[in-house]
Chains A and B, each alone.
Chain A
Amino acid sequence: MTVIKRAADFVHETSAAEAAPGIERIDVQPVSSKAVRETYAARPKIYPKLAHGTFRKIKWAVMAVTLGIYYLLPWLRWDRGPNLPDQAFLLDFANQRLFFGPIEIWAQELYYITGLLILSALGLFLVTSLAGRMWCGYTCPQTVWTDLMVVVERFWQGDRNARIRLDNSPWTFEKIWKKTATHVTWLLVGLATGGVLVFYFRDAPTLAAELVTGDAPIVAYVFLGIFTGTTYLLGGLAREQVCIYMCPWPRIQGAMFDRDSLLISYRGYRGEPHGPHKKGQSWEGRGDCIDCKACVAVCPVGIDIRDGVQLECIQCALCIDACDEIMIKVERPTGLIAYDSFRNLDAASHDDRAPLRFVRPRTILYSALIAIVAGLMLWAWLNRTILDLSVLHHRNPIYVELTDGSLRNRFTVKILNKLHEKRTFELSTEGLGRAKLSILGFAEDDPKIDVVTDNLRALNVLITVPKAARAKLDGPATPFRFVVTDMADGSQTDRKATFRGPNHE
């Protein structure tokens, strides 16, 4: 039975040999590798080493931008006039509206959000087929917050080696306060995360004041607590476990890759056979990989990229930085680990090159789907109704005969005004000949229906077909239309309805 040893164990086990003159061979074992992949094993702790280089800089920038957006967005204001929230980005569940700058989505229009989610998924598919797990490696909140939590850990406890030493040392005062400071800071990061999340659901400045004075709704505190806890748990403690065991995406993303996708790869054709490089030794007949394990030490999920693309790899590109740094030191070309395609790797092993192919059936399909969905959404948005009409036929009784022999149906007609101004409408029927329309509570001759700012008005409508016109009815069910005319601009909206009468006739 193979037993996985914690990375910390190795510090004492092997003497740190040099991988090349002046370059330490880091004592690190991947927690999961081709050679050692246990089905049942306790979680070995990973101590990611700080990487330096282009991709680390890009990741710092992405982290700053994404966290900046997350923390600052709720504070952005947007003037929508009186009686409306002035928060640019607000999920106003209480009033069943979503506000995104100039866009306002009502509860019954939630399909726009569905469309947005479909677009996001398709975008993810496209990016993944082009360049692998860009989402996982750079922008996924799990990655960003884990990165932030590692920064905190590094600030209090030092980099990889210092952290391993601290973990192996007995519980001294220094260890206690360093650990305490780390966990407290993690909790504060969690608190800030949860604290900002609730601002998306209620006017941020108001809620901020309420949170401090203790007047905020209980649900705000509950969600603040939940997100403080989950940020601490998932970002601070669970980390790569979330990506490996909880997230479904790593299992799906394999279906998006193909031989042309740019994936972070170890160029085995260049690196092998690997081994320590002695001073003055020729590079002829051996690989560029000096087995310094710098790539394993920086890996946040604790794998060896030299095993190839694997489920655990979130493709964060930090191993590229780590390897390039070493390659420069040993005066070999950089890019031993780099974004490359399977096709090019294969070609290169035969001293050939395969050009990059971004345009291929898969990417064309994803792009076309994105264009179609985006086009549909844009079309739906441009044709979005600013007036909704719904008609409900009363069914007990379904019709009545009046003393003078005329027939009458009763309807509830609801007019929904989505504009932020009062509008006046006129209601009429089409397709019922001389039918008389009267609205309870309105003057018979000229009913002007005012519907105030983004509101709904229900009308009790009576449609009467005189005795003389009954013969013209289409049996027991006559289709007709309710027409609502905006008196300001004459625009019309209509709805189908049915006029009911007796069966015999």
Chain B
Amino acid sequence: MSEKEIDHVTGVETTGHVWDGDLKELNKPLPKWWLYVLYATIIWSIGYWILYPAWPTLHGYTKGILDYSPRAEVAEELAAAKAKQAKYLDEIAAKSLGEIATDQELLPFVMAGGAAVFGDNCGPCHGKGGGGAAGYPNLNDDDWLWGGKLEDVEHTILYGIRSGHPETRDMAMPRFGIDEMLKPAEIADTTQYILSFSDKATDPVAAEKGKSLYADNCAACHGEDGKGNIELGAPNLTDNIWLFGSAPAAIAETIRTGRGGVMPHWTGRLDPATIKMLTVYVHSLGGGR
């Protein structure tokens, strides 16, 4: 390998390696531009090690003299975003719900913020668009168990339903079946009478028997005519909106167990301005009542 061998066809030096007796490789060095780029990147990397976090050590890593940290950068960006929102949040905190709901300047921020907070906190139960599910009210209709005015909605969000908070809405329906206040047959009769409010009764005889049972046990809260009572959170039984379903079995189950759905209180978890945004957003879904 001491002698340089020149390939006679191309006039280029070979590497001296021979395969299959006569195959030789031409000695073509790397293109210069490529080589210089490689050297440049090596030099660049040394600068990088000095300036930026680079090498792992036993108890952490080299920090670099620029003291750069993506984590700190994110924190800074978040703080900057918060500072930008502060103007709106202050305004929201200062204004009443009614003022916010009609403030065309403020509304885009309130609706966007409300939608984001709703998705994070309310969506898991009520659905991303507030469509609800069995046991979790649909927030898009006009059937509001505890009232659909802005103030009512805010109160519900602040203190929840049967949440354990001192201010919470904690009226609860008795457990007529579990506590043996009504026999199963009586529950079935009452169910038929309740269904007759919305013309869904299938057994007129049972419904007739259920009438007096309803008057004795249910009418105090739900009203003689079944229209319900917002003060007590007693649902309207005459419409076609049923939180736990309108099948006789579902209604019978409600009478037996009282249901007693729970919504957590959000005061203390969300700040007042955020709750106001959320209130206006939820109210906008169906226009309240």
Contact = CB atoms under 8 A, between A and B. Distances in A.
B258 interface: no
B142 A397 contact: no
B284 A397 contact: no
Contact of A405 (B101, B127, B131, B240): B240
Contacts of A440: 284, 287
A57 to B, nearest CB: 40
B189 interface: no
Contact of B131 (A1, A397, A403, A404): A397
B interface secondary structure, majority: loop
A266 to B, nearest CB: 35
Contacts of B168: none
A247 interface: no
B15 to A, nearest CB: 19
B287 A394 contact: no
B57 interface: no
B241 A403 contact: yes
Contacts of A400: 138, 140-141, 286
B158 to A, nearest CB: 23
B132 interface: yes
Contacts of B143: 402-403
B246 to A, nearest CB: 11
Contacts of B111: 460
B140 A403 contact: no
Interface in A382-430: 394-397, 400-405, 408, 410
Nearest to A440: B284
A105 interface: no
A397 B138 contact: yes
Contact of A441 (B104, B127, B138, B239): B104
A462 B236 contact: no
B241 A401 contact: yes
A396 B102 CA distance: 25
A440 B140 CA distance: 13
B131 A396 contact: yes
B101 A441 contact: yes
B130 interface: yes
Nearest to B9: A1
A363 interface: no
B74 to A, nearest CB: 21
Contacts of B129: 394-397
B107 interface: yes
A440 B288 CA distance: 10
A441 B138 CA distance: 21
B286 A441 contact: no
B131 A462 contact: no
Interface in B231-254: 236, 239-241
A405 B141 CA distance: 11
Interface of B: 11, 101-102, 104, 107-108, 111, 127-132, 138, 140-143, 236, 239-241, 284-287
Interface of A: 1, 394-397, 400-405, 408, 410, 438, 440-441, 458, 460, 462
